[in-house]
Every structure is written in C-alpha cells, then in structure tokens.
C-alpha cells in the first residue's frame, strides 16, 4: 500500500516518472519490490487513471489528485 502510494505520488508530480510507471511498469515493480497483487493494481486501475491525468498536473491539484489515487488504490486492494 505505502509503496503504491509512493509511486503514484511521484507520478502525479513528475511526468517523466509517470511515463515509466505507465509504459515500463516491470521496472517499477522490480525496483519497488511490489507483490503480485500490488503489481496488478499498478498495471490495472492505476495505469488507467494515470492515462487520464493532464500534462502536467498543476501543483495546486497535487493534494486532490493524491487523495483520488489513494482511493483508487484502497478500492483495488480491497477487492
């Protein structure tokens, strides 16, 4: 959970990292040592939500976007 939150927080603030999370998730899975379940959330609902983010996310929107992604992660890990 904490690792996924760290990953999405970086992806929200940094477009370059976002692209890696979107298109080279295997590198992120390995470097953050994610479980299979966490990897599935990254490549599933998180990827879908990242695809919809504006370029860039404005700093004023960081808090609300981070909260939204946290909900996505919470929901995905519960199901």
Partner 1 sequence: MIISVKKPDLDKLLIRLYAHNNMPGRLNNKVCLITGGASGIGRAVTIRFLEEGGTVVVVDRNRAAIKETLEIARTVSTKVESIEADVSKLDQVENMIRSTVDKFGHLDVLVNGAGVLVLTQEAEHVEEREWDLIMNTNLKGLFFCCKYALPEMVRSGGGSIVNIASITGIQGYSRSLPYSVSKAGVIHLTFVLANQYTRRGVRVNAVAPGSIDTHQARGSSQSVGALDIVAQNHPMKRIGKASEMAEVILFLASEESSFISGETILADGGSWAGGGHV
Smallest separation, CB 76 to partner 1 (Å): 21
For 46, which DSSP code? I
- Rounded CA separation 21/29 (Å): 9
Binders of partner 1 among residues 36 to 55 (CB under 8 A) are: 51, 55
Q: In whole angstroms, how close is the CB of 21 to partner 1 at the nearest point?
A: 10
Nearest CA among 9, 12, 5, 17 for reference residue 41? 5
State the residues that interact with partner 1 by CB under 8 A. 13-20, 22-24, 27, 31-32, 51, 55-56, 58-59
């Amino acid at each position: 959970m904490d690792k996924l939150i760290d990953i999405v927080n970086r992806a929200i603030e940094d477009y370059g990292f976002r692209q890696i999370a979107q298109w080279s998730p295997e590198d992120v899975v390995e470097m953050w040592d994610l479980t299979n379940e966490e990897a599935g959330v990254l490549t599933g609902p998180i990827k879908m939500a990242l695809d919809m983010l504006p370029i860039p996310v404005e700093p004023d929107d960081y808090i609300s976007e981070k909260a939204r992604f946290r909900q996505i992660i919470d929901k995905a890990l519960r199901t």
